[in-house]
Structures are given as C-alpha cells and as structure tokens.
Amino acid sequence: MNVDIIDYESCTAAGINMSSLREALQQQQSGLIKNNLPYSELDTWIGSVPDIDKVTDLKEWQSRNNALAALGLEQGTLRQTLTKLINQYGSARIGLVMGSSTSSIDRTETAYTDLDDTGVLKPKYQQKQVHNPHAPSLFVSHYTGIEGPALTINTACSSSAKVFATAARWLEFGIVDAVLVGGVDTLCLSVLHGFNSLQLLSSNPCKPFDQHRDGINLGEASGFAILQRGGESSNSKGIRLAGYGESSDAYHMSHPHPEGLGARMSMTQALKRGNLNPSDIDYINLHGTSSRANDLIEGQLISDLFPKTTVCSSTKAWMGHTLGAAGITEAIIAMDSLLTGFIPGSMNLDSLDHALDFSIQAQSSSKECKHVMTNSFGFGGNNCTLLFSKVS
C-alpha cells in the first residue's frame, strides 16, 4: 500500500472543522443534544450540525445531505488543495468516491409531506439528481468540478470506510492521479424512526462499552480526505493508508455475527495487508456504537486480538453514530492522532462492560502513534477496517 493522505476535514456536531473537533475532543465537550428534529418526538439524543440550515443556495441540488457536504467542503484547505490538483492534473484525472447510507432521502421525505393536490411532486422537488442513491457523488462532482470517475458506496455504516479501499485501488492502477474520498449522512426521519423500530436508540447520551449502555444516538456528519500515490505530493502530511480489510458476516441483516467472525476477518486482513502485527497498533478507534450487541462482540474481539498496549476508544459520544459518514469521521480522528499524539478517551465510559477486558478508558491520553486502526461495521453484515501509518 502506497497511498498518502494529503488533506482532510471533518464536520460533525462536535465541531464543523478539524480545529473545532480537536478542541471538543480535548475538552471532552460532547455535541449531543436532546432530539429536536422537527416532526419527531422520539425520546433520544442526537448529534446535529446547526450550520447546515445556513446552506440554502444549492438550487436544484438542495437537500440537507448535499448542504452538509457543501458545508464540509468549505472547511480548512480542502478547496485550495482540490483546485491545485485540478490545475496540475486536469479535472478528468481527479476521482471521487463518496460513502452514504441516506444519500438525500431527507429531501424525498420533505417532498412527500408537500405533494400537490393530485399527489404529485411539486416542481421544486422534481430533482432527479437528488432523489437517487448516487446523489452525494453527483452533487460533490458538480460542486468541486471533479470530472474523473465518481462512485458512491452505500454499504450502510461501513460506506465511508470502504471509500479508502476503492480510492487506493484506483490510484494503484493509475485510473486517476488523486481521489477525493468522503462520507456524508444527515439526520432525517427515516433513520431516527427506523433505528427506533429496531429498538436500538437510547434515551440517554450514549455510553459505548459501558456496563450500563442502553443504545445508540444518531448523528449527522460529512468528512473528506484527499489521497494521492505515495511520494507524488509536495503537500504530504506524513500520513499513509497502510492497509484495509473488507468482509461480510454472512449472518443477519441487522444483527452482528455473535462471535464477530466477519469483523475478525476485516481486522486481520487489514493487518496482513499492512504487514503489521497487532502489537504494532498504537490506537484503535472502535466502531463502538453503544448498542449491547456491537460493543460486546467488538470488545471481545479486541481483547482476543490485541495486547493491552493498544489503546482503544469509541468517539461516538461526541457526535453520535453518523452512519454512512461514521467510517471517514473516525478514520480522520484516528489519523489525526498520528499528527497530534493525542488519543481521545471513550467519553461517558463509567464502568467497562464486566464481560470485557481491554485497554479502554474515559480519559484522553498522549502517545506518539506510528500505526492506528479504525473499524466500521454496517447492516447486511458489511465490515471494513482501515490502517493508517506515520511516514517520516
């Protein structure tokens, strides 16, 4: 694997950009609030991004999901980096891989509440490029001017982890010279009421891996990273995608494999591809949704596979489970620790599940990290693990 990460940004309830996210992580300041989504009276907590409401000028592209993608793309130096790459290589040589689970179903929901008297979509909602699962890539290509291949990966909660694997393969085969990868998912009634129907939502702020955890909180996020073949950029941050693993549980649509066989495969594959041993991994940002099942199974796997020198945490208590955007959000938190040496704790962890025994604590820590990992597991039993390393 020889792929450099040359820029990245994250936009969540914990902060609309990297600098505010870093501050929130350091201050242990959660972005979760009591559910206030219009027309939803569910008793739960959510991680919403209020600034989305300010993005109202997308015209035929307008949707909450596209607005969050646009907001995320305006953070940090993403636009400058992209412009430079487009000027250098040409827009046809820049690729795009987006991950999402909701795409723009928020807009379809709104359109259905506002049909005309004959039950037809009103003209303002007749947006064919928005009401389809590829909407995030269609919009981001339009917004950024990227004209190379643009693919959307929709594998539920592993979507925006898998974007890194696809991008790495495109770069390896010279299909493009740089890839913008991203993930975007927004809070909408489908996900809130859908997860409620599965009795997975907590009425409290989530407590990943805690003995008394009682469910998940949903959040919304966009995250982006720009990838190039190793050594081709003068702008390198010194972070390399070192490996990835992709697997299936082959067990159940919405319940993880009881022994975590698929998750084990994705982690061991990533290590093998990265030519690393478990003891080489300094930090793992876990999937850690705060559901009873996920955290028990993932935690048991971690204690089975990794030594206690590998520090772990779930950061979902900061911004909630951001579904199709969770993969890249947590990949970014993990890779950022390679630069800062700051490892976020597992906020809201009071007492570790009694059945678990691995290196996780509520408090943050400092450590010079060389290799970090992150897990993302989705409905349909879809798993992805990413490995990032520091290059000197």
Partner 1 sequence: MNAKKLTCKVASIGAWGSYFDSWEALQQLLSGSATPDIRNKGPKPTIIPPNERRRAPLPVRLAVESSWQATQAANISPETLTCVFVSGLGDTDLTDYMCKVLASEHKELSPTKFHNSVHNAPAGYWTISTKTMTAANSVAGFNHSVSLTLLEAMIQCESENVPIMMTFYDAPVTSILQPLLSNNEAFAFSIIIYPKSSDINGISISACVNSNEYKAWPTLHSTNSDICSLYEENPSAKILCLAELLTSKKDGAGISMPLSAATSLSFERN
Binding to partner 1 in span 79-98, by CB under 8 A: 90-93
Q: Which of the ranges 23-31, 69-77, 246-254, 284-292 carries the binding residues for partner 1, by CB under 8 A?
A: 246-254
Axis-axis angle for helices 18-27, 326-340 (nearest 10): 80
Shortest distance in whole angstroms from residue 16 CB to partner 1: 27
User: Which is the catalytic residue, given 11, 157, 206, 312?
Assistant: 157
Sites for partner 1 among residues 185-244 (CB under 8 A): 189-190, 193-198, 229
User: With binding defined as CB under 8 A, does residue 356 bind partner 1?
Assistant: no
Question: Which of 35, 63, 75, 137 lies at the binding interface for partner 1 (CB under 8 A)?
Answer: 137
User: With binding defined as CB under 8 A, does residue 292 bind partner 1?
Assistant: no
User: With binding defined as CB under 8 A, does residue 126 bind partner 1?
Assistant: yes
Alpha-carbon distance of 186 to 323, in angstroms, equals 9
Question: Which of 148, 182, 183, 299 lies at the binding interface for partner 1 (CB under 8 A)?
Answer: 148
Active-site residue, 321 included = yes
User: With binding defined as CB under 8 A, does residue 58 bind partner 1?
Assistant: no
336: Cα separation from own chain's centroid: 14
277: Cα separation from own chain's centroid: 25
Q: Which of the ranges 155-163, 209-217, 235-243, 365-373 carries the binding residues for partner 1, by CB under 8 A?
A: 155-163
Q: Which two tokens stand for residue 361?
A: 């604590």
| Whether the Cβ atoms of residue 217 and residue 46 lie closer than 8 Å to each other | yes
Half-sphere CA count of 24, side-chain side, radius 13 A:
23
Q: Which two tokens stand for residue 382?
A: 């879809």
Q: Which two tokens stand for residue 273?
A: 């591809």
Q: What is the DSSP string of 260-305?
A: -HHHHHHHHHHHHHTT--GGG--EEE----S-HHHHHHHHHHHHHH
Question: Which of 7, 381, 385, 389 lies at the binding interface for partner 1 (CB under 8 A)?
Answer: 381
Q: Which of the ranges 7-15, 27-35, 70-78, 127-135 carries the binding residues for partner 1, by CB under 8 A?
A: 127-135
Q: Which of the ranges 6-14, 24-32, 162-170, 308-316 carries the binding residues for partner 1, by CB under 8 A?
A: 162-170
Axis-axis angle for helices 105-112, 189-197 (nearest 10): 100
Q: Which two tokens stand for residue 290?
A: 């705060």
Question: Which of 30, 44, 101, 376 lies at the binding interface for partner 1 (CB under 8 A)?
Answer: 101
Number of residues that bind partner 1 (CB under 8 A): 74
Shortest distance in whole angstroms from residue 52 CB to partner 1: 19
- For partner 1, the closer CB: 348 or 383: 383
Shortest distance in whole angstroms from residue 115 CB to partner 1: 7
Burial (CB count within 10 angstroms: exposed 0-12, middle 13-18, buried 19+), residue 186: buried
User: With binding defined as CB under 8 A, does residue 275 bind partner 1?
Assistant: no
User: With binding defined as CB under 8 A, does residue 38 bind partner 1?
Assistant: no
Within the chain, strands assigned E span 3-12, 33-34, 45-47, 94-99, 150-153, 178-185, 218-219, 221-229, 239-248, 283-285, 311-313, 342-343, 365-366, 371-378, 382-390
Shortest distance in whole angstroms from residue 45 CB to partner 1: 18
User: Which is the catalytic residue, given 321, 369, 371, 384?
Assistant: 321
Alpha-carbon distance of 30 to 15, in angstroms, equals 9
- Residues noted as catalytic: 157, 287, 321
